Amino acid sequence: MSSIILKNISKQYYHDSYAVRDLSLEIKHKEFIVLVGPSGCGKSTTLRMIAGLEEITEGSMYIDEREVNSVEAKDRNIAIVFQDYALYPHMNVYNNMAFGLKMKKIKRNEIKDKIEKTTEILDIKNLLYRYPSQLSGGEKQRVALGRAMVKEPKVFLLDEPLSNLDAGLKARMRLEIMELHKKLDATFIYVTHDQTEAMTMADRIAVMKDGLVMQFDTPSNIYNKPDNIFVAKFIGSPQMNVFEVYVQCGKNGVSIVKDGEAVSVNNADTERIKKYSNKKILAGVRPEHIKIHNDNNSAENFLSAKLYIKENLGHEIYYHFNSGKDNSDIIVRTIPEMDVVNNHEYRLWINPEKMHFFDAENGNRI
């Protein structure tokens, strides 16, 4: 078993600032957890505290219900894979993988067996007698994973392990790490600032900002029910469109009004936004939940907007519109389906079931 509990963990490198603040996470045995967030938000610090490489300033950490605050890194049964692989340059692949086991005084034959089994899983048997300088980025990454695997740890910590690889290799290694997680009886905690990695690999994602966890949830809930405006905008590419709107409650139901144009609200959040009647809130809608129309007569749930640029990705197009007095940006993501011309006015249909609402003061989901 390898459950991990972080209870109100904080880390201060300096007295006047927090790298991590009051962080609490309960991670189950064999879960694949991704910590994601912008640069400097405290992801690596959190990982290093779990590994025992960084002292905890406040709070408690438990691995399998045992408090480990003062347990040394080498006694935690955790392996860490770093972004730069950290292979020993003067040792060949075999010795890189054997080094930690030799330190633990494991018998030669046993080391040989473990390395054989691991290199087979990772398909790197042919590389055993090469030195790190003779390996490609992807091969180095596999060796670094192998070096972690031979230790048979209960917990794998991976700190941006794919960030030095090109796009194609990244996609392949992503699948390999997911396969590896399926095969091994270990908990994985993976740090990245790449939301695609977070969304595709995680059982649960912790989105971080300024040392705080903004939401800890499944990829589906993070995308479809973001807890706050930060998570709403951080996850999703292109990012969610967010507008300042007024709430209008009348005989015909609830609407939000942007620059005089009303969009009726018809989803599970309708009741909750009623208490913001005549007040300003933030309304969010993902680019795939807006449709472009040529029809000028349509009134319900439409905003007027002028197209100013399109980005053609082949299988889909991102259309960038200006709308309203403040020329606010609206991005629409769609498959190529109609001829849409720059500098023309269009009507954009907002799917009333797919809108998100946030408090304008604190950014929390309403």
Ligand X SMILES: Nc1ncnc2c1ncn2[C@@H]1O[C@H](COP(=O)(O)OP(=O)(O)OP(=O)(O)O)[C@@H](O)[C@H]1O
Q: For ligand X, which is the closer residue by CB, 39 or 220?
A: 39
How many Å apart are CA 98 and CA 101, to the nearest integer?
5
Contact predicate 29/40, CB 8 Å: no
Q: For ligand X, which is the closer residue by CB, 46 or 301?
A: 46
| Nearest-approach distance from CB 216 to ligand X, in angstroms | 16
219: phi then psi, degrees, rounded to nearest 5: -55, -40
What are the CB-based long-range contacts (under 8 Å, 24+) for 218-224? 223/199
| Nearest-approach distance from CB 117 to ligand X, in angstroms | 32
| Nearest-approach distance from CB 133 to ligand X, in angstroms | 25
Q: What is the dihedral of CA 144, 204, 234, 352, to 10 degrees?
A: 150
Contact predicate 189/27, CB 8 Å: yes
Check residue 216 and give left, alpha or beta (phi > 0: left; psi -120 to 50: alpha). Answer: beta
| Nearest-approach distance from CB 231 to ligand X, in angstroms | 16
Q: For ligand X, which is the closer residue by CB, 114 or 193?
A: 193
Q: For ligand X, which is the closer residue by CB, 18 or 349?
A: 18
What are the CB-based long-range contacts (under 8 Å, 24+) for 268-273? 269/355, 269/356, 269/357, 269/366, 272/357, 272/366, 273/247, 273/357, 273/366
| Nearest-approach distance from CB 156 to ligand X, in angstroms | 17
Task: Give the footprint of ligand X on this chain (CB under 6 A).
Answer: 13, 19, 37, 39-45, 193
Q: For ligand X, which is the closer residue by CB, 57 or 351?
A: 57
Helix-helix angle 137-149:167-183, to 10 degrees: 20
The single-letter DSSP state of residue 19 is S
* Helix, strand or coil, per DSSP, at residue 330: strand
Which residue from 31, 25, 1 is spatially nearest to 202, judged by alpha carbons? Answer: 31
| Nearest-approach distance from CB 206 to ligand X, in angstroms | 11
Q: For ligand X, which is the closer residue by CB, 210 or 329?
A: 210
Q: For ligand X, which is the closer residue by CB, 37 or 352?
A: 37
| Nearest-approach distance from CB 208 to ligand X, in angstroms | 7
